[in-house]
């Protein structure tokens, strides 16, 4: 199966410090990856590199076999979408107008939104629980409503690869579950892939089957859930003793 994204010999760093070094990594259709690591380890930097928003310090990233750096931004945006950890909105706009911005990679230059674009935007707002807020100014939304609007914009963009940087920020529990269920189902239906950056080990274990552990010193470990989510590995990663508890057939990871 041809990978959607391929990372070869990747090196990323900042200020003379390597976040990852000689990373080889493939993301295939149907896979759901979680990136775990401490603050400042370079998780968001890696996500930005996968989206083509930051060039690597070494190595190469390929999208469906093509060098990512040689593709146009519109071509990349049709295949890869990123939900940023935080977005600052400086221009006044309504919720509907903002979500419609996700259709930009699919429209001809200077063209107006089509009826199909509007239908897709309204459906995404309904799926994220924002139906009825179409004409609300973005500045009047709560943090959780804004996060769901950003998720709706990503759905409207319709990429195969979803890069999610702490997507549950500002969301209460029911919306956290609903949003991750929505993204997971989308991966299944489209034979796409999901890469989730999170500090929540339990959410990662619930929705992801593959893990990349970023230590922040150039070292990265990768593998399946069973191999990566051990107390020994997590203790090294988080620089704190961890233990695993089994209860009612579920596993929980707790600080020791």
- The domain that holds 92 is classified in CATH as 3.40.50.300
Report if residue 58 sits inside a domain: yes
Pair 146, 138: CB distance under 8 Å: yes
Q: What is the pLDDT along the chain (256 residues), one digit of tens a residue?
A: 789 999 999 999 988 889 999 999 999 999 999 999 999 999 999 999 999 999 999 999 999 999 999 999 999 999 999 999 988 877 789 999 999 999 999 987 776 778 899 999 999 999 999 999 999 999 999 999 999 999 999 999 999 999 999 999 999 999 999 999 999 999 999 999 999 999 999 999 999 999 999 999 999 999 999 999 999 999 999 999 999 999 888 899 999 9
In a domain, 240, yes or no: no
Alpha-carbon separation of residue 165 from 169, 193, 241, 242 (angstroms)? 9, 14, 25, 24
Q: Which two tokens stand for residue 54?
A: 């930051």
Q: Do the bridges between strand 58-63 and strand 66-67 make them parallel or antiparallel, or are there none, so unpaired?
A: antiparallel
Number of domains in the chain: 1
Tell me whether residue 256 is in a domain: no
| Burial bucket for residue 150 (CB in 10 Å: 0-12, 13-18, 19+) | buried
Is position 71 within any domain? yes
Q: What is the pLDDT of residue 243?
A: 96
Q: Which residues of 130-147 are buried (b: 16+ CB within 10 A; e: fewer)?
A: beebbeeebeebeebbbb
Residue 188 resides in a domain = yes
Residue 250 resides in a domain: no
Confidence (pLDDT) at 89: 78
Give just the sign of the alpha carbon dihedral 221, 224, 225, 230. Answer: negative
Domain that holds residue 10: 5-230
Kindly state whether residue 220 falls inside one of the protein's structural domains.
Answer: yes
In a domain, 197, yes or no: yes
So what's the pLDDT on residue 115? 86
């Amino acid at each position: 199966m041809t990978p959607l994204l391929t990372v070869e010999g990747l090196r990323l760093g900042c200020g003379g410090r390597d976040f990852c070094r000689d990373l080889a990594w493939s993301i295939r259709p149907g896979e759901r990856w979680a990136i775990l690591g401490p603050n400042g380890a370079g998780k968001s930097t890696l996500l930005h590199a996968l989206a083509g928003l930051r060039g690597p310090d070494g190595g190469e990233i390929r999208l469906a076999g093509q060098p990512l750096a040689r593709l146009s931004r519109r071509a990349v945006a049709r295949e890869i979408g990123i939900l940023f950890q935080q977005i600052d909105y400086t221009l006044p706009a309504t919720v509907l107008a903002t979500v419609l911005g996700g259709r930009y990679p699919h429209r001809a230059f200077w063209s107006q939104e089509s009826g199909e674009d509007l239908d897709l935007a309204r459906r995404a707002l309904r799926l994220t629980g924002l139906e009825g807020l179409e004409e609300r100014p973005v500045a009047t939304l709560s943090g959780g409503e804004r996060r769901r609007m950003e998720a709706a914009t990503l759905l409207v963009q319709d990429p195969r690869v979803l890069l999610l940087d702490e997507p549950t920020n500002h969301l209460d529990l029911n919306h956290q579950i609903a949003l991750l269920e929505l993204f997971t189902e989308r991966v299944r239906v489209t034979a796409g892939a999901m890469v989730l950056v999170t500090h929540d080990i339990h959410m990662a274990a619930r929705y992801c089957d593959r893990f990349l552990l970023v230590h922040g010193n150039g070292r990265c470990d990768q593998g399946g859930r069973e191999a990566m989510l051990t107390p020994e590995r997590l203790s090294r990663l988080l620089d704190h003793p961890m233990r695993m508890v089994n209860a009612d057939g579920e596993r929980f990871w707790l600080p020791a």
